[in-house]
Structure formats: structure tokens, C-alpha cells
Amino acid sequence: MLDPNSLAQLNQLKTDIIESKDQGEGEVRGSQRRFGFVKLDDGRDVFLAPDDMQRVFPGDRVKITVHTDDKGKFKAELEKLLKSPLDTFTGRYVIRGQGHFVEPDLPRFNKLLFIPPSQRKKAAEGDLLHCKVSRHPFRDGKSQVNVLARIGSLNEPGVEARYTQYKFNLPREWPKGTETLNDQRADKRDDLRATPFVTIDSAETRDIDDALWAEANEQGWRLQVAVADPGAYILPGSALDKAAAARGTSVYLPGKTQVMFPEAITKDLCSLLPEQDRAALVCTMQVSEHGEISQVSFCEALIRSHAKLSYNGVQAQLNGDETLEHPQLKTLEAVSKALNSYRTEHALIMPEQADFRYELDDAGQIAAITKVLRNDAHRLVEECMLAANRSVAEWFADGPAIFSSHAGLREDRLANVRAVMAEALPELQDCDISTLDGYRQLINATSTSSSNLPLRSIFARMLQPGELSLEAKPHFGLGLERYSTFTSPLRKYNDLIAQRCIRAKLDNTQASLPSSDALQALQDTLRNARQASRNMERWLHYQFLAKQPKDQVYQGHIAHLNGGGFTVELDDTGINGFVEARSIPEKLSFDANSLRLFNDKRLFQLETPVTVKVAELDPFAGKLLFNVVEDEATTPSDPAEAATNTKESS
């Protein structure tokens, strides 16, 4: 038996051994192969061997001991599982010999997880599943899952929407019980039912958020934008309000809309339907002939839409192809052009993005994808909405309120942008592009530059994402000092918050704003909704391509580039697929500044038109590879200069 002194020495020896070890904590990262890495908190990436990778999931937080081999490379030894965020997930049922597994639909997750016989829910091979981890593999490398739900097989009608709901945890139910919905502000409303408001949307729209009216006067025009007022019926903290906050936004999945509020509200009670009395918040603006906005006011009102118009119908009336049944459309057109002229001179006009309509057959499968062409009617509505949202941001300037902000270029890409400026815009070398004024100068200069680089597209790939804020901050993308939105309260929860801020200011009371954590949660919810919508669209894209002849060729243009290749967007359908650089016969170099792949014979850059065909298609893995079959890539005007740029950016 050790005496106390010897025991103390032994404990000290153990402590010294532990302290002498190179240990750290970090997150497990998967790879396309069986091995992985641990990204340590100190920034190091440590190799995790395949056998150890079997004991963890990507995303797990672990404690490791770092060993260094004779080549100086780091290798991880797992010590402790600190946290495993993986709980529920979606995947595909697979059978390997006698074993039944789920193949998780998770990024960089390339292992199968065992499903015990009692947990298989009568699913068949190939079925799509919603599962829950029941046994973590850290102890012995063996994991197990329970099947929570069989979502369906790939050929079942509507499975795409159901799977998307499960994968992105979109709420599928409303709170039990009913709430009595009455206009809590009826006695405070101005009666504007005689004002001939009209709504302009797609012909199919039923959740109508906004209505317009304008008249000419000596100072230019008086413009009114009436916006649906669901906040008058749905009180903060109520069950419906909490459900709407959890959803964050309406998610428009082809064939199925995941609405933020029940359809009885969005398509009836609060929708600005024609010839129906509806509660609204109305923004009134004076617009000068130069597009300047002044004399902004807000009121709660009772309105009555005098007509539900479609974009195509309005365009036909503006063109003179149909009888002008609503003369104010010409007035609204004039107002919108003045507003656009002002923004062109004093702010920034975002490039128009193509939109696509998905037509499904009776089985919920994709039948056709149609490109929707924007016309002046779309731009008319857009300018009026922007005017109202700009106005509310100025009205909110001193807060408290909710704003939409955009901080411009990513800090880690400023050096890349400046390198491009040195080549293509040397006259702006002294411009501070981290400021709103400097950024406006930069973007405006792209339209007059003689450079053969697609400058605006390059800079657009180097921007930060937009965010919600509880204080007024610049919106670089729009070129505005501040911006907020309140014109889509039936489908965007942040717009509902903005409407409550308007009401509080009208009442001269303090607005109830979300906490910083609640605001971040809302932003995460909105981001998740966008990912869900893109995931559903991608699924339908792959269905569409799978139905086409295998040797079909497609026209497209380059939308993104990196060192591994480039993404091509098909012009007629908006489908995105990747061309691997290694599929091009000649080796290509990558310029991270100007986003170009090139050699002395070929140049691929943003907006380059290309002709492609499908090389590989895996809908479940979300993988679509193209091969270039007849590229129209150009020869670099100065290959030596391009090579120099690449060396400088590497």
C-alpha cells in the first residue's frame, strides 16, 4: 500500500502526463471518403482515421489528443464525446445483405446507420424515412436509429413536398383549438373604401397583401399603398402568433404552399380581395416628378379593393392591347418610372433575376418548367412597394423598430475586390468600398467600365448576406441609408413585426420588439425556409432532367466558379449543375480575384455562355454534373496577365 507521499507523487505524475499531452476540443468534419477531420477551437484541422470516424458523427463536438507523425502531420485520438447535435434526420432505406440501414440525407455523411428489426415501420428498400438516433457509436462504433415515420417511396404523389417538410423540420400542424379573430382596431380606422385601390398580382394569387392607388397633383403624384393588416386580428403572444413566429414565412413549395397563417386568414379574412371591406395599414406619399418622396404618413384604414388585376392584364392595358379599364394604371406607371429614375441616380438598382413556374401533373411530378418574363407591370408594383418600404424605414429612423440591412462586401474578400479594381477600375483606387458611398461608386462604375470582366457579377459573389436588425443600418444592396419592409405581413413574420411598430408609433407607445436571441432565431428560420424551397426545386429539376433524352444538350451560362469547376445555370429552366474542372481536357488555373478558370486556350468566367449535357444525376444525393460539349469560352486576351493574377491570388 502506498504511503501518502508516494500517492501524491503518483497523482502528480499523472497530472504531468496529462498536461504534457497536446489536447484540444473541436468539431468533427466529414469528407467524401471514410476519414474525417476535427476542426479544433485553435484553428487546426486534425486528421481523423476511418476507424475513429466510425465512432462519431459529423458535427459532433469532441475532446482529442493530437499526435504528430514523422512527417509532421496531425492525427487525432478521440478522448471524449462532449456533444452530439444529431437527433432526428431524413434518409433512404437501404438493405446490405442481412442488414437494414438508413442512408442519412446529411452533408458529408457517408455512413449507413443500423435499423433494428422492431423499428422498421414496415418500410421497404428505397423508401424515404424520418429517423431518430437511438444509440450513438462513440463507445464501440455501432450506431442505431429508430424510424419515426415512413415518408413514402420516390414514386408516390406528393412525396417531394412531404420529404422537404420533414427534412427541414417545417411545422406541419396548427395549434389545437380556435381563436376568436376580431379587428381590435376597428374604431381607429379611417374609411377609405371610396378610394379606388386595385391589386396587381399573378392571376393565381389569393393571399393578397397590397393594393395601390395614385393621382396626379401640382407637386407630382399622391401615391397610396394599402397593406393587409393581420396584426389587428392576431395579438402578440397568442397561439397563432407563436405558430407564425415558428414558421417565420410562407414557404412556396411547388404543388404545396406552407403558409405562415392558416389559409382562412391569408386567403380570406385578411386578403385584400376585390369588393370586400378589409382592414389595412395605408402609407401615403407625395412623389415629385423627379421621384423624390415627401409628406409621408401612415394610418389604419378600412379599404375596399375595386379590382383584382394580373400582371399580364395590366401590361396589356398599358401597351394599349386591351381597353384601359383603370385609367389610374397610367398614373401608377408614371409614378413608378419617376421612382425608378430617382433610385437609379441616388441609390442602386438590383439586377433582375429570372423566375420560373413549375407545372405538376396529377401525380405531383414535374410536367414543365416555364420561364416567367418580367414586364413593366411587375416593375410598377416593385417600385411602389420599395417606395413604401423606404418610407417606413425613414419614418422609423430613430427607432425602435425592425430593419433590413445589408453590410456590403465580405471583409475576407475586400482584397480580392481591390485586386479586380486595380485591373479594371484603376480610377477608383482611392475609393473606400467599405462605406455605402464607396460601394455605390463601385457598382455604378461597373456599368461604364470598358473591362471585359463581368464586374458586377464578380462583386455580387463577394457580398455578405442581408440580415434583420433592431437599429437602422445601411442596405448596401439597395444603396440606401436604411431600409425596412412591412408590405408582406401575410407571408413574412418580420413584416408583421414592422406593422406592429407602425401601430405603436401611431399610438405613441413603445413597440414590443423581439430579443436578440428571438431575432436570430427568426433569421435562422427564414434561412431554413429558403433552403427548403431550393431543395424542393432542385428535386423537381432532377425529375425534369431524368425525363429528357440522355443525349439532350442544353444552353446555359456560368453562374459560379471555384477552383474545382463551375456551376452552369440552364437558360430555359434555371436548373443548376456543376462542371468539374477535371472534365475539361486541358488543365485550368483559377483566379480567385476575377473568378476565372483559364489556360492559354480557354477562358471560363461568370456569364460565359456554354452548351452542356448531363454527365451524372443523383436526385437523393443532390448531385448533378454537366459536361461541356460545345463551349463558347473565349481565349484570354492576355494569358500572361491572367497567369500573373492567378499567382498573386494563390
pLDDT score, position 19: 53
Residue 424 belongs to a domain: yes
Sorting pLDDT into bands at 50, 70 and 90, what band is 642?
very low
264 and 342 fall within a common domain = yes
Among candidate residues 49, 83, 117, the one where a domain is terminated: 83
423 and 562 fall within a common domain = no
pLDDT at 18 over 60: no
**What's the mean per-residue pLDDT of the chain?**
92
| Cell 468539374 found at | 580
Strand, helix or coil at 526? helix
pLDDT in tens, 178-215: 677 999 999 999 999 999 999 999 998 999 999 999 99
313 and 399 fall within a common domain = yes
Among candidate residues 83, 101, 125, the one where a domain is terminated: 83
CATH code of the domain in which 579 resides:
2.40.50.140
pLDDT in tens, 267-283: 999 999 999 999 999 99
Residue 162 belongs to a domain: no
Residue 272 belongs to a domain: yes
Report the DSSP beta bridge partners of residue 576. 569
CA distances from 166 to 90, 114, 116 (A): 7, 20, 22
Phi, psi of 155 (to 5 degrees): -100, 5
290 and 379 fall within a common domain = yes
pLDDT score, position 646: 40
143 and 267 fall within a common domain = no
pLDDT at 71 over 90: no
Residue 178 belongs to a domain: no
96 and 141 fall within a common domain = yes
439 and 519 fall within a common domain = no
pLDDT score, position 72: 78
Residue 173 belongs to a domain: no
Residue 505 belongs to a domain: yes
pLDDT score, position 643: 41
Mean pLDDT, residues 409-431 taken together: 96
CA distances from 251 to 172, 386, 528 (A): 12, 22, 10
Euclidean distance between CA atoms 318 and 337, whole angstroms: 13
User: Judging by beta carbons within 10 Å of its beta carbon (0-12, 13-18, 19+), is residue 35 exposed, middle or buried?
Assistant: middle
Residue 472 belongs to a domain: no
pLDDT at 481 over 80: yes
Among candidate residues 32, 56, 83, the one where a domain is terminated: 83
Euclidean distance between CA atoms 15 and 2, whole angstroms: 18
Q: How many CB atoms lie within 10 A of CB 408?
A: 25
pLDDT at 650 over 50: no
User: Judging by beta carbons within 10 Å of its beta carbon (0-12, 13-18, 19+), is residue 14 exposed, middle or buried?
Assistant: exposed
| Cell 471583409 found at | 411
224 and 322 fall within a common domain = yes
CA distances from 289 to 97, 197, 294, 336, 347 (A): 76, 22, 12, 10, 17
- Domain hosting residue 53, numbered range: 19-83
pLDDT in tens, 427-478: 998 999 999 999 999 999 999 999 999 999 999 999 999 999 999 999 999 9
94 and 74 fall within a common domain = no
399 and 291 fall within a common domain = yes
Residue 4 belongs to a domain: no
98 and 218 fall within a common domain = no
340-344 contacts: CB < 8 A, separation 24 or more?
340/291, 340/379, 340/383, 341/290, 341/291, 342/290, 342/291, 342/292, 343/291, 343/383, 343/386, 343/479
Sorting pLDDT into bands at 50, 70 and 90, what band is 633?
low
106 and 255 fall within a common domain = no
pLDDT in tens, 581-599: 999 988 999 999 999 999 9
| Total domains, the chain | 5
Among 179, 215, 218, 178, which Cα is nearest to 198's?
Answer: 215
